[in-house]
Structures are given as structure tokens and as C-alpha cells.
Amino acid sequence: MPSPPLAVAGGRSDETPVRRGPWTERGRSAWLVLSSFAGGLALLFLVLEQRPGGGWRVLDIAVGALASLVLLVRYRAPLVVGPVLAVAGAFSATAGVANYVALFAVARSRPTEQAFLVALADIAGALVFWLLYPANSALSLTVVVNTAITLAVVAWGALRQKQQDLVAVYRDRAARIEREREQRAEQIQMAERARIARDMHDSVAHPHLADRALRRRARGRRGRRRERRHHSRDDSHDRDQRTRRTAHGDRHPARRHRRDTARPRARAHRRRIDRRSQTGRSAGRRAP
């Protein structure tokens, strides 16, 4: 026997509210079929004073057994099973319990308006059965009893449907809260991981950067020291050279005199050569 569909807020659903095992489903289905068929037999043999006889009784029992078996698919097609069993209950006393079970399935899984339509079909079927066997009870009693039974079944099914709606809302709310809790936990975990990674990066990178800066500063200082030493060495070398030349010149006055008079003599010698070459060129131009 399939479980009743789970109705969610704003509509209906074909999902079952509780997932049961296969043996549990089979046991509940067998119990429902046997109970419905046993109730129909009790109605036929113990309640009714006027009942079908002979071959019609066998046909009545067969129809009731078939109606009880059809209850296995009442939640798969409730709007088909309900009217069909209402018609069967109009002609078979043994199907008089199965049609109300089908009505409960309609009221539990479908809107209340549709359940009331199937309930009217059950009441009409009871009137048809009274027309076939009027000696069982008065017409007014038949109408009152069947109307009360159908209204009670519809009310019970609608109540179960509202309970399913409420359970579905609570389940959705609990699932949403659980998802939000997991998301918050994940966000907190990611934030903590990011903080730890940032702290590790700072603790590892800061000493490295500080060491690089110190090394760069030390290299700059060594370079400046090297340049100063080089400049100071050049300056001292220049001073030594000047001092050495000055001292050397002071020790050799003749050399200093030759150095001072060499340049004017060279210039005078170049001037004499220039004059002679110019005189030779002029004489060459005057010759015929």
C-alpha cells in the first residue's frame, strides 16, 4: 500500500512524507485490503437485513474483493479510484467499506472541494443501494447516516492533510536553518583559515623583507665606503705625485730651467722653419 502523498504549502506533492521499508509497506497494504474486505463481509452478513442471494451474493463478494484490491493504488490516482469505488458501493454491499477508504485518500491528498464531490458520489451510491434494497432502513436514516459518515471521513482526511502541511513547513524550516547554520560555519571556517594564512604570511615574510632591507643597506654602506676609500686613495696619490714632482724639481734647478725654456725655443724654431718654407715658395713662383 503506498503511503499518502506529502502536501506542501501552496500545492500538493506526490512525495511520501516518510520513507518506510518494503516489508512495512507490504504489511500495511495487506492489512488494509483484508480489513476492508472483512468489513464489507460483516456489512453484508451482519448489518443488512435485505441482501442479495444466490449468484448475486457471489458477485457482490467478488466486487467487494476487487474493490479492496483497488485500494492499493488509491494514492496514485485518488480521483479515479474514489468515483469508481463509489459506483461499486452503489451495487455491492461488500464494497461499502472500500469506497469510504478511497474517500479518505481523496480528502487527504487532494483539495477539499474535490473531496466533497467524491463524497456526493458516495451519498448518491448509498441512495442507489437503498433503492435496490429498501427494506434495510428508512430513506431519511440512510441519507443521514451516509452523509454523517462521508462528512466525518472528509473532515478527518482534511485534518490529516493540514497536519502534513504543517509538518512539511516545519521540515522545510528546519532544513533551511540547518543549511544556514552550515553556511555560517563554513564562512567562519574560511575566515579563520584566511586569518591564519595572513598571520603566517606576515610572520614569514616580514623577517625576510627586513633581512633583505638590512642586506641592501649594508651593501650600500660598503659601496660608499669603497668609493670613499678609492677617492681618498686617488687624492693621496695625486698629492704624492705633486709633492714628488715639486720635490724633484726643487732638487734639480737645471732641469726646471730646461723645462721652463724648452717651450719658447720650440716655438721660435717652428717660426723660423715656417719663414724659410714661405720664402722658398715665393721664390719658386717668381722663377720663369
What confidence tens digit (pLDDT) does each residue in 121-169 have? 999 999 999 898 888 888 889 899 999 999 999 999 999 999 988 998 9
Cα Rg for the chain, rounded, in angstroms?
Answer: 60
pLDDT given for residue 117 in this prediction:
93
Whether 78 contacts 102, CB under 8 Å? yes
C-alpha cell read off for 280 = 722658398
Q: What is the model's pLDDT at position 82?
A: 92
All residue ranges of the chain with pLDDT < 50 are: 1-18, 250, 287-288
pLDDT of residue 105: 92
Distance CA 202, CA 189 (A): 20
pLDDT at 17: 42
91 CB-contact burial (10 Å; exposed 0-12 / middle 13-18 / buried 19+): middle
Q: Which residue has the cell 595572513?
A: 198
Q: Where are the domains of the chain?
A: 22-183
The predicted pLDDT at position 274 comes to: 73
Burial class (CB within 10 angstroms; exposed 0-12, middle 13-18, buried 19+) of 108: buried
